Amino acid sequence: MTDSGVYMYAVARDDSDAGPDLRGVLDVPVHKVSRAGLAAYVSEVPLDQFGEEPLTRLLEDLDWVGEVARAHHRVVEAVAGAGPAAPVRLVTVYGGEDQVCDLLERRHDDFEEVLTRVGDRKEWGVKAYADPAALQRTAGGEPGTETGAVSERPGTAYLQRRSAGLRDRDRLRKQAVAWAERLHAALCEVAVAGRRHRPQDPSLSGRDDWMVLNGAYLVDGGRERELAAVVAAFAKMSALAGGDVGGGKEAAPWLDVEVTGPWAPYSFTSLELDRDHVRPEQGRPERGEHGRPERGEPRRGEERRGDGGVR
């Protein structure tokens, strides 16, 4: 084995052209490896970083991972901008270009199927955050009012309020999640396909409010505006209605919907090529409709409850 390997970013059709000055990880020029009408975008990588042992170590080095991820993403974006593309997962490394050719030949039909399905569609990310405080104001109900008689003893009263507050939070959370379900369903009407991913960790999203939807939608070219319209309509409706449909007190923007994209179809190329592998993801909650986050994911204590989607 030589001391360099071939890092693969994405597979596209051979007639695609992602530009001449594309640079990949470690700022090395990217080139195409063509076979059977397909092209793999690759670049050379040193095995002292991308060999099996160093990789295992370096993947723990978050700065390294961050840099590689951005370079990887940059190439994938360029390739996807030039035509249908199937992004390959981070750090897919081959011993040489022969192996890449062999792969393109062997899996030609699978790749072709994916590329056909992707076509000129783009992936859009839609994340919805619910602000519990704003939702509380909109949906109404002061914390604790539903408990009935409040004890005269301050300690007990405090505990009653606290407990009512927790119930309130749970109720609000369920309402927010129900809205997210409806938003997802509406977006799926516009999109060719939709997928819900696990909500991001607050430290990843940088936000403390509840991420109730982390969706990805494969949208036909030209229908982006419809997607945007759905999002806008939901943000507006939710503000008017509060958590309870039609039962709100006053309008408040408690639902914050973020749209990101267009992305390369990262979320819609994963399963098809893998039918002869066992995909651990298949059993993971992010594939399910309810998107329950994995245990321990949300950080703040009270946000952990009631995050299991609609029951």
Partner 1 sequence: MTDPARMRPVLRESYAQPVMGGREPTNLGDILERVLDRGVVIAGDIRVNLLDIELLTIKLRLLIASVDTARELGIDWWEHDPWLTGENRELTDENRRLRDRLAEVERRLNEQERLMPPRRPAISREAAHDDEYDREYAREYERGDEAEYALDDDAEHEAGHQTGHQTGRRRRGEGRRD
Q: Does 275 bind partner 1 (CB under 8 A)?
A: no
Closest alpha carbon to 172 in 230, 255, 236: 255
DSSP 2-32: -SEEEEEEEEEETT----TT-B-GGGPBPEE
Asked if residues 107 and 17 have their Cβ atoms less than 8 Å apart, the reply is: no
178, two tokens = 């129900």
**Shortest CB 189 distance to partner 1, Å:** 17
Quick one: which of 23, 99, 186, 292 contacts partner 1 (CB under 8 A)? 99
Name which of residues 174 to 213 contact partner 1 (CB under 8 A): 197, 200-201, 203-208
**Shortest CB 142 distance to partner 1, Å:** 15
Quick one: which of 120, 149, 296, 311 contacts partner 1 (CB under 8 A)? 296
**DSSP-derived secondary structure letter, 105:** H
Q: Which is nearer to partner 1, 87 or 144 (CB)?
A: 87
Q: Does 305 bind partner 1 (CB under 8 A)?
A: yes
14: alpha, beta or left? (left if phi > 0; alpha if psi -120 to 50): alpha
Rounded CA separation 12/80 (Å)? 8
Quick one: which of 20, 21, 148, 295 contacts partner 1 (CB under 8 A)? 295
Strand partners, 218: 123, 193
Those residues whose C-beta lies under 8 Å from the C-beta of residue 277, and which sit 6 or more positions away, are: none
Asked if residues 136 and 164 have their Cβ atoms less than 8 Å apart, the reply is: no
Taking residues 55 to 94 in sequence order and writing x for each that binds partner 1 by CB under 8 A, - otherwise, the string is xx--xx-xx-xx--xx-xxx-xx---x----xxxxxxxxx
Closest alpha carbon to 89 in 9, 195, 200: 9
End-to-end, the C-alpha distance of the chain in Å comes to: 54
Q: Does 155 bind partner 1 (CB under 8 A)?
A: yes
Q: Does 108 bind partner 1 (CB under 8 A)?
A: no
Q: Which is nearer to partner 1, 237 or 245 (CB)?
A: 237
Cα–Cα separations (whole angstroms), residue 208 to 85, 201, 222, 287 = 35, 9, 34, 24
Rounded CA separation 8/31 (Å)? 10
Q: Does 288 bind partner 1 (CB under 8 A)?
A: no
Of 26-34, 44-52, 141-149, 181-189: span binding partner 1 (CB under 8 A): 44-52
Name which of residues 228 to 267 contact partner 1 (CB under 8 A): 228, 231-232, 235, 256-263, 266-267
Q: Which is nearer to partner 1, 247 or 274 (CB)?
A: 274
Taking residues 114 to 133 in sequence order and writing x for each that binds partner 1 by CB under 8 A, - otherwise, the string is x---------xx--------
Number of residues that bind partner 1 (CB under 8 A): 94
**Shortest CB 84 distance to partner 1, Å:** 13
Query: Is the backbone peptide bond immediately before 262 cis, with ω within 30 degrees of 0?
Result: yes
Strand partners, 29: 23
Q: Which is nearer to partner 1, 37 or 158 (CB)?
A: 158
**Shortest CB 130 distance to partner 1, Å:** 13
Q: Which is nearer to partner 1, 226 or 244 (CB)?
A: 226
Quick one: which of 50, 210, 217, 254 contacts partner 1 (CB under 8 A)? 50
* The length of the chain, given as a count of residues: 311
